[in-house]
């Protein structure tokens, strides 16, 4: 079960990348009457953040961003939503960013997880508390077990185990958070292209390798990489994930319970049920990740 979100008087900064989740967190703060401010990353965040208290920020102006956070009186920060890696040659850097540039470049060379840890450490060193999206809003984190009306059969459970093993092995090289397996055969591994593009690739495979509308087979598994910083960049699925998995003929989707987010949970479960697909929350892995407060 999801742990209820603790009530707090700390003002929240939502550093918003792309997607709908930053807006969902803002809506949750409004409903709870929690003080917050959105900080939209230019080129990534939705224009809809302008409906809430907000500032626009640039990746290259770290000093200004810190100043705005303090000006707003923010104590806690959640980083949510994808942001493409910037072209450093085109960024306009302020003096704070210039001083941090060697550390940023070193972290970026180490992969996405090292880069995210660098960002978390940077803001925590300034006195802000970095928290996960699941610590802000109830119901975002996946729960353990069957989440809809359809459950995985024995063959699907074997495929889930195989896909989870693939993610664990490749994840140690900082490669992806998703894999597709059908009848024990690895059909695809998520890399920089993202989950939807990976599923599109699966849908183009020969029919004998995957399932179909008439006879679904295979699974998509989404889970954190071993040792991943779980306060940022948790695997996320939404209704488009279900539809794309259905188009690839898959029997269902499994996610790490407590280690993956489900956007618009009721609609996602209903869509899976409608397509006779399962949604399954795998028991949380104990990989020693630096997870902060777990749900």
pLDDT tens column, 198-255: 999 999 999 889 999 889 999 999 999 887 888 888 899 999 999 999 999 999 999 9
For residue 287, pLDDT over 90 is answered with no
What's the predicted TM-score (pTM) here?
0.84
pLDDT tens column, 155-181: 999 999 999 999 999 988 888 899 999
Q: Quickly count: other Cβ atoms within 10 Å of residue 221's Cβ.
A: 28
- The average pLDDT across 133-151 equals 91
Helix (H) or strand (E) holding 172: none
Report the chain's C-alpha Rg in angstroms: 19
pLDDT tens column, 251-268: 999 999 988 999 999 999
Of the pLDDT bands very low, low, confident and very high (cuts 50, 70, 90), residue 289 is very low
Distance CA 8, CA 120 (A): 21
Percent share of the chain, pLDDT over 70:
92
- Inter-CA distances, 190 with 51, 161, 163, 210, 256, Å: 34, 16, 11, 17, 16
Angle made by CA atoms 123, 126, 129, in degrees to the nearest 5: 60
Lookup: tokens for 53: 């208290």
For residue 135, pLDDT over 60 is answered with yes
| Domain architecture of the chain: domains with CATH | 12-135 (3.40.50.20), 145-282 (3.40.140.80)
- Inter-CA distances, 294 with 212, 239, 290, Å: 37, 25, 10
Mean pLDDT, the chain, whole residue set:
88
């Amino acid at each position: 079960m999801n742990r209820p979100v603790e009530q707090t008087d700390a003002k929240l900064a939502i550093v918003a990348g792309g997607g709908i989740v930053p807006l969902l967190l803002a809506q949750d703060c409004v409903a709870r009457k929690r003080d917050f401010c959105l900080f939209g990353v230019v080129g990534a965040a939705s224009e809809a953040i302008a409906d809430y208290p907000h500032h626009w920020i640039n990746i290259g102006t770290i000093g200004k961003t810190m100043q705005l956070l303090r000006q707003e009186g923010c104590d806690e920060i959640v980083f949510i939503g994808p942001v493409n890696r910037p072209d450093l040659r085109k960024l306009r850097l302020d003096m704070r960013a210039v001083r941090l540039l060697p550390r940023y470049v070193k972290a970026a060379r180490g992969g996405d997880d090292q880069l995210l840890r660098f960002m978390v450490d940077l803001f925590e060193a300034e006195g802000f508390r970095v928290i996960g999206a699941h610590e802000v809003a109830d119901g975002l984190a996946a729960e353990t077990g069957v989440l809809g009306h359809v459950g995985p059969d024995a063959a699907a459970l074997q495929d889930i185990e195989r896909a989870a093993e693939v993610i664990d092995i490749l994840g140690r090289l900082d490669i992806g958070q998703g894999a597709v397996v059908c009848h024990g055969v690895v059909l695809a591994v998520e890399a920089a292209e993202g989950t939807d593009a990976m599923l599109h690739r699966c849908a183009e495979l020969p029919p004998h390798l995957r399932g179909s509308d008439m006879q679904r087979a295979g699974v998509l598994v989404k889970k954190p990489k071993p040792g991943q910083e779980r306060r940022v960049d948790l695997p996320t699925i939404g209704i488009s994930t279900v539809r794309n998995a259905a188009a690839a003929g898959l029997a269902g989707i499994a996610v790490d319970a407590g280690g993956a987010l489900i956007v618009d949970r009721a609609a996602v479960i209903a869509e899976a049920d409608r397509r006779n697909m399962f949604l399954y929350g795998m028991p949380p892995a104990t990989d020693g990740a630096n997870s902060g407060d777990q749900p």
